[in-house]
Structures are given as C-alpha cells and as structure tokens.
Amino acid sequence: MKCRKCSARAVINMRQHKLALCKAHYIAWVQEQTERFIHDYRMFTREERVLVAVSGGKDSLALWDILLALGYRADGLYIGLGIDEGTAYSDASYACARAFAEQHPEATLHVVDVAEVYGASIPEAARYFRRGKPCSTCGLSKRHIMNRVAGDEGYAVLATGHNLDDEVATLLGNTLSWSVESLRRQGPVLPADEAGLVRKVKPLFRFYEREMAAYALLRGIDYIYEECPFAVEATSLRYKELLNALESDSPGSKLRFYLNFLRAREQHPGFLPRDTAPSLRACPTCGQATTNDGQCTFCRMWDRVRSLKAQEVKTTAV
C-alpha cells in the first residue's frame, strides 16, 4: 500500500479515514491534527503554560512529544504511585518518563512521589481501607495532586493523554448507568471553575489507540507497554473489546458515537440537566475546594492512613 501524499510505502492504513501514509507524512499528520483540535476546541494558546500528566505510557509521552514538536510550552508531571505487585510497574514507568525528559532539556519534569510526600504508597494506603483494588484511592489522589501542582506552579491548563478508545469506553460506561452528572462533565475540555480547579484538556481525544501506539513507535519513544497491574480486569477494558468488535464491523463507529454525543449535548442543553451546584468551601488543610464541612476527602483519607500506620508501628513495637 502506498502513501496518499508521496507514494512511498505506507506504514499505516486508517480505514475509518480512508487514509494510508508513510512514516514522515503520518508523523506530520498526527501533529497537524492535534494542532487543529487544540485550536478548534479552544484548549489553550501558545502563550499559556501546559502541564502534561505523564504516566510513562504511550499516550501521555506521545502527547508531550507532539506539544513540544508544535512549539508549545509544555512540562510534565509524573506521580510515583508505588505500584509494584511483582511487576515493578512504577519503577519502569518512571524510567520511561525520566528518559523522555532527559532527551528534552527544554522541558521540566515535575515528580511527586506519593509515599514520600503523603506517607504511604497507593496500594499500602488502600489496604488500610480494606479495598480490594486501589483504584478509587489512586484516582482521588492523582486528581488532587495534578490540580495542586498545576495551581502551585502557575500552569494555565492540565493536559492528559486520553485517546478516543479511552473516551468512548468511559462514555459507554456512563451511558449504561445513565450517570447524568458524569455525562454532563465528560468531554475534551473541562473549564477551570471558581472552586480553583484548573482547566483540563484531552488533545488526543480524536485519535484511536492504535494511531497513538503507531506514533510513539515511529517517533522512537520508549514507553511502558504493560498496563498497571490493577487495570487488567477493569470493566473499561471489557467495554473496549466490545467497541473494537463494533468498529471492525463498521469502521468509524467509535468516533461517530463520541462526536454525536458531544453534538447532541451542545444542541440540547436541557438534555443533561445540571444538579443545583453544591456550595463549596476551602479545605482548612490544603485550601482546595470541597463540599465537605471541614477537611476535603483527600486530606481526610491521608490523615487516616497516617494515623492507622502510626498505630500499626506502635503495636508492632510493643
């Protein structure tokens, strides 16, 4: 198969776009498309500083690479979750993030090691609450830390590497449960709000997962192939399999599902009514907005982890 633009050998054929491209034209196409999405969805400008949440995986490193190639002022944030479970997942993902940052001296990599800063790794913290999987502890902590670092370091916007497959799997999950509030908030841009939450954007939201894997490979980006060991059984992976089956019968169906959802929501604002906005207060410990009386859920949770851990140490010492 030949490249549509120069007739060299094509390295990728995108059935849904009816487009085959060679290596050089594919890399240029991904970067141009990203630039177009950033502009069309008003994600950020060239003057604004962008913080990219970097996990060491293909999507987040590809995103950082694209933004730097396009000349944006993009730095990275790596959060060390302390997930090992026999796979050394965190060490390996950190090594990839660090290696990328070392090749790009024009950008800064911020690193927050959860155990060092908050007193326990994510799996350790989750064990104190006897939760089977640490994902809710992990998600809450990542959201809080990303927002804190973006605010403290003066970034205008936080960018994550979610691709179309991630977004469509989440959309299917939200639709199956008719989670109105989640459907209302899902999208490529979540504006900053008066509660101090920084703007969040997903510049890769229109790329298929395989398109991002191809980009990372062709750019020679060294990324961690393994998923987090706790993601293996995740429901979203089952949704992805279902959606892949649909896509192979009808190419373009994932993109149509997602874009038509965004369009329907825009055209029919009453379709997903907003709950009355809860009143927000500043957490007395960290200052982030919360609906709680007193400390926010993040600070409460970590205070509890540290006190349970201290009790445990005392008991062991007796």
**Contact call for residue 78 and ligand Q46 (CB under 6 A):** no
**Contact call for residue 230 and ligand Q46 (CB under 6 A):** yes
Judged by beta carbon, residue 6 or residue 117, the one nearer Zn ion is 6
Contact, 46 vs 71, CB < 8 A? yes
- 3-state class (DSSP) for residue 74: strand
State in angstroms the smallest separation of the CB of 18 from ligand Q46.
33
**Contact call for residue 187 and ligand Q46 (CB under 6 A):** no
Q: What residues contact residue 212 under an 8 Å CB cut-off, 6+ apart?
A: 58, 59, 62, 161, 163, 204
Helix extents (H) in 74-134: 89-102, 114-118, 122-128
Query: What residue type is assigned to position 143 of the chain?
Result: R
What whole-number distance in Å separates Cα of residue 193 and Cα of residue 195? 5
**Contact call for residue 6 and Zn ion (CB under 5 A):** yes
Stretch that binds ligand Q46, among 152-160, 174-182, 225-233, 304-312 (CB under 6 A): 225-233
What whole-number distance in Å separates Cα of residue 141 and Cα of residue 263? 32
State in angstroms the smallest separation of the CB of 142 from ligand Q46.
7
Q: What residues contact residue 202 under an 8 Å CB cut-off, 6+ apart?
A: 159, 160, 161, 162, 167, 188, 189
Stretch that binds Zn ion, among 2-10, 60-68, 159-167, 258-266 (CB under 5 A): 2-10
Question: Cα dist. 89→80, 122, 227 in Å?
Answer: 10, 13, 8
Helix extents (H) in the chain: 23-40, 58-69, 89-102, 114-118, 122-128, 135-152, 164-176, 180-185, 209-218, 235-249, 253-267, 297-317
The entry of Zn ion, ligand Q46, none that residue 6 binds, CB within 5 to 8 Å by partner kind: Zn ion
Among 217, 285, 308, 309, binds Zn ion (CB under 5 A): 285
The entry of ligand Q46, Zn ion, none that residue 192 binds, CB within 5 to 8 Å by partner kind: none
Site for ligand Q46 in 128-147 (CB under 6 A): 134-135, 138-139
Contact, 96 vs 61, CB < 8 A? yes
What whole-number distance in Å separates Cα of residue 266 and Cα of residue 154? 31
The entry of ligand Q46, Zn ion, none that residue 22 binds, CB within 5 to 8 Å by partner kind: Zn ion
Q: Estimate the crossing angle of helix 58-69 against helix 89-102, to 10 degrees.
A: 10
User: What are 19's strand-pairing partners?
Assistant: 14
Stretch that binds Zn ion, among 80-88, 112-120, 153-161, 289-297 (CB under 5 A): 289-297
The entry of ligand Q46, Zn ion, none that residue 228 binds, CB within 5 to 8 Å by partner kind: ligand Q46
Judged by beta carbon, residue 235 or residue 248, the one nearer ligand Q46 is 235
**Contact call for residue 56 and ligand Q46 (CB under 6 A):** no
- Per-residue contact string for residues 17-56; x = within reach of Zn ion by CB under 5 A: -----x--x-------------------------------
State in angstroms the smallest separation of the CB of 138 from ligand Q46.
3
Binding residues for Zn ion, rule: CB under 5 A, are 3, 5-6, 8, 22, 25, 283, 285-286, 296, 299
Please report, as ranges, the residues that interact with ligand Q46 according to CB under 6 A: 134-135, 138-139, 228, 230-231
